[in-house]
């Protein structure tokens, strides 16, 4: 409880700060979003292969992305563990 993670979510929902708990199995650890010289973003870098334990609350804004880990442009934000 109280641990932070920068992560992506495998669903199309939008999340805002303080939003209700999200299962760790729906999260993937991630790095920053890559943006090329033309301003086009690529997939979020360094995506982990499994989610963390527990339940997590969104601490930033996250606009929904693709629901396929294999084909998504991931949108990452900060989450805090709540249980």
Question: What pLDDT score does 81 carry?
Answer: 95
Q: Are 25 and 51 in contact (CB under 8 A)?
A: yes
Question: What pLDDT score does 71 carry?
Answer: 46
Say how many CA atoms lie within 13 Å of 65 toward its Cβ. 23
The stretch 46-58 carries a mean pLDDT of: 83
Longest dimension (CA), the chain: 41
The stretch 71-82 carries a mean pLDDT of: 75
Q: Are 79 and 7 in contact (CB under 8 A)?
A: yes
Residue 35 has pLDDT above 90, yes or no: no
Query: pLDDT class for 26, splitting at 50, 70, 90?
Result: confident
């Amino acid at each position: 409880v109280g641990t932070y993670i920068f992560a992506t979510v495998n669903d199309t929902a939008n999340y805002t700060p303080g939003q209700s708990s999200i299962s760790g199995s729906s999260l993937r650890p991630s790095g920053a979003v890559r943006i090329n010289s033309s301003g086009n973003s690529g997939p979020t870098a360094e995506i982990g292969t499994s989610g963390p334990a527990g339940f997590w609350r969104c601490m930033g804004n996250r606009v929904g992305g693709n629901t396929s880990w294999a084909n998504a442009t991931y949108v990452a934000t900060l989450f805090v563990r709540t249980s």
